[in-house]
Every structure is written in structure tokens, then in C-alpha cells.
Chain A
Amino acid sequence: QLQPSGPGLVKPSETLSLTCSVSSGSISSYFWTWIRQPPGKGLEWIGYVDDSGYTNYNPSLKSRVTISVDTSKKHFSLRLTSVTAADTAVYYCARDSIYDNRGYTFDYWGQGALVTVSS
């Protein structure tokens, strides 16, 4: 299971931080991914990290985002700096198997975590 956690309210210009715990299975052989969905809108891919720490980010967010992994704790994290109201969204963590040859396919999604940016 994937379980996101973190503050539900962040002030403008501050940093959004979320962690996703991988409660079962290996943390190896996957791209651990963050995806977000603003209220009433569609899905936006943020980026991923693998167990070696290799990352790949959406160019639209690249200057503000960091995704990291802690294999010993079996969790991965998202940091988004300098947030604005436009970053208000439900944030999902998801799993993408590296070796299934299905490209960037997300076979398991965690529960969403609503993060509101407001003063």
C-alpha cells in the first residue's frame, strides 16, 4: 500500500512537503511517482525517483520540485518550493514498474492527500 502524509495547509511562498510510505513489497525496481490533481481539474505528472535516487521531473515544475527516496525507511518524498494557490491540489503517490516494458504505467495509486495553499 502507498500512504501519503504531510501538512494539509501550506502558506504561500513556503515549501510543500509530502511523504509516501511503501508498506508492502520491495522499493526496488520501481519508479516512485508523484501526480497531482487541482480541484475539479485533470491530472498532472510531477515526476519520479527510483531506489538509486535517480529522478525525472516535469519541466513545468523542475525548478521548484525535489523528489527523494529513503530505502531504509521505505518511503519517498516530495518537496515543492515557493508554492502559490495554483499548487492547491490532491497529491497522489503512485508506482510504476521499471521492468514490465509498459512504459510509464501506474499500476498502483495511493490515496490522495489534499494540500491547500492559503494564508
Chain B
Amino acid sequence: EIVMTQSPLSLPVTPGEPASFSCRSSQSLLHSDGNNYLDWYLQKPGQSPQLLIYWGSNRASGVPDRFSGSGSGTDFTLKISRVEAEDVGLYYCMQALRTPVTFGGGTKVEIK
């Protein structure tokens, strides 16, 4: 199975400041169709995860444009241009290329 590794485990952030965190996969997620099958999900406290980014860099419907995803192959990054208080929670990357679907361990974003 594809192993997903996220860093850092925890990220204290200041509102209004940028934040970024990383995800690495044990195998390339680049498909022959040109898309990277890497998703990002945010799990706010006490809630179910919600889709933020698919294909590595495409924002899901309704996701604010302060969120951006980048990367290709095995290395990916999620950036928040200006963190807001509502952005706290656990961020998971997930490979959507093949089963078993696998998730990273998560990065916990909290306000300083």
C-alpha cells in the first residue's frame, strides 16, 4: 500500500500570517492522465473531515482561495495564505490513486 507521511505533526500559527505543511507519498501519485491523485482534508474540532483540495491543487467547491495546494509525484504542500481562526484543526493528505486508500497522520494547526 502507499504510505503517506505528513510534517510537521503540529503547527502553531498566528492569524493573518501564512502557513504551509507537507505531505510525502511512498509512490508517485502522478497518473498517466497528468493528474496527481492527492487530496487534502480538514477536520475541524468535533466535525467530520471535509474536502479542501483534489488533484493536488484544485480547490473543492466552496473552499476559500486562501487555501492552495501544490506539488507533483511524491511531494506535496498545502499553503494557507493568511490563516484565520476558523482554519484550526487537523489537516490530512490522502492518496486517491489506488486502493487501499491511505491517509497521512495529519498536521494539527492551532492558534498561537
Contacts and interface: CB of A to CB of B under 8 A. Distances in A.
Interface of A: 42-45, 56, 58-60, 92, 101-107, 109-112
Interface of B: 1, 31, 33, 35, 37, 39, 41, 48-51, 54-55, 60, 92, 94, 96-106
Nearest to B90: A42
B54 A102 contact: yes
Contacts of A103: 31, 37, 96-97
Q: Is the interface of A mostly helix, strand, loop or mixed?
A: loop
Contacts of B50: 109
Contacts, number: 55
A56 B106 contact: no
Q: Is the interface of B mostly helix, strand, loop or mixed?
A: loop
Nearest to A43: B103
Contacts of A106: 39, 41, 49, 51
Given A43-B92, A103-B37, A105-B96, A92 B103 contact: no
